[in-house]
Amino acid sequence: MIRSFICSTLVGRILFIPYRAIFVVGPYWIRHTLTVIWWLLTSKEFYNHSAKISKISEGYMANFISNLSGVSVAEVEGYFNELSKDNNLRQELTDLAIKNKRKHAGDVIPNYGRRIAWYALVRIFKPVLVVETGVDGGLGTAVICEALMRNTLEGKCGQLIATDNNKNCGYLIPERLKSRYSILLGDSIKQLDTINQPVDIFIHDSNHAAWYEYGEYATIAPRFHDKTLVISDNSKNCEVLRTYANNRSNKFAFFQEELLNHWWPGDGIGIMYNIVSNAHFKTL
């Protein structure tokens, strides 16, 4: 009777609003507020948030990469564990963060988040050349270089070329990994035009304006081949890569990360694969 009244009358709907408000403001608002307060007290970050992803999100990510790459979920999870159990890398990153003058603007304990997917993809595909735009502190760059170093020890040599316009970028990259990468300083679009070898994995993580992301793809596209992976760290907020993929009959997949005990809703990974042409992208 009451349910029928609420569901079938305007008066019932209005009377039910306070109950709905309690439902939302109660457990959700309190939990979210406590998470924000804990973050303010324990974290020093103010941008480019890093955090662990939830266990269920990590599992979904493993399946996402398995479906894209064709390797087993167990193999993908093995690479996740390889990175998470690399205490040497974690300690190196922590030590470098503590020594840097920006230590009060970021957390010193590295949390890889969605970057574990970057690591796994580099380990799986064994690229000869990875190109990354946007280094900042270098957490993601260090993860890529570690994967390349492990590939090299297994006889599959690979290099990273990264771009950034800040000469102080990359302070988190350990000295032992510097043989695996080089940084081109300056505007990313201009620097990409100087690369003249085939690109196996391309990662956009610089200026996230749609026009700029487009400009990077248009510039580097002639270096793509039919097995190139194109990764956007901006696909949660911008459809440029998805549109490229659709216009060129390439495949596109997106994964949304879920962070563990963090107020930030997380970012995502957009991936275009099965490149069908090396020509410049012409239209959005």
pLDDT in tens, 157-180: 999 999 999 999 999 999 999 999
Q: Which of the four pLDDT bands, split at 50, 70 and 90, describes residue 262?
A: confident
Q: Which of the four pLDDT bands, split at 50, 70 and 90, describes residue 3?
A: low
Contact (Cβ atoms closer than 8 angstroms) between residue 231 and residue 271: yes
Amino acid at 24: V
* Contacts with 267 (C-beta within 8 Å, 6 or more apart), sequence order: 113, 114, 233, 236, 256, 257
What is the per-residue pLDDT for 8? 73
Contacts 24+ apart (CB under 8 A), 67-75: 67/253, 68/253, 68/271, 68/273, 69/121, 69/124, 69/125, 71/124, 75/124
Q: What is the mean pLDDT of the chain?
A: 89
What is the per-residue pLDDT for 128? 97
What is the per-residue pLDDT for 7? 65
Please compute the mean of the pLDDT values over residues 198-204 and round it to a whole number.
Answer: 97
Domain ranges of the chain: 2-36, 49-273
Percent of the chain with pLDDT over 90: 68
Radius of gyration for the chain, computed over Cα atoms and rounded to the nearest angstrom: 22
Please compute the mean of the pLDDT values over residues 9-36 and round it to a whole number.
Answer: 75
Predicted TM-score (pTM) of the model is 0.89
What is the per-residue pLDDT for 12? 61
Judge: domain 49-273, CATH 3.40.50.150. yes
pLDDT in tens, 52-106: 899 999 999 999 999 999 999 999 999 999 999 999 999 999 999 999 887 777 7
Closest CA to 270 of 246, 253, 257: 253
Tell me which of 14-23, 144-153, 213-222 is least confident.
14-23
The residue ranking higher by pLDDT, 119 or 260, is 119
d(CA 5, CA 22): 20
Closest CA to 188 of 243, 133, 128: 133
Contact (Cβ atoms closer than 8 angstroms) between residue 276 and residue 267: no
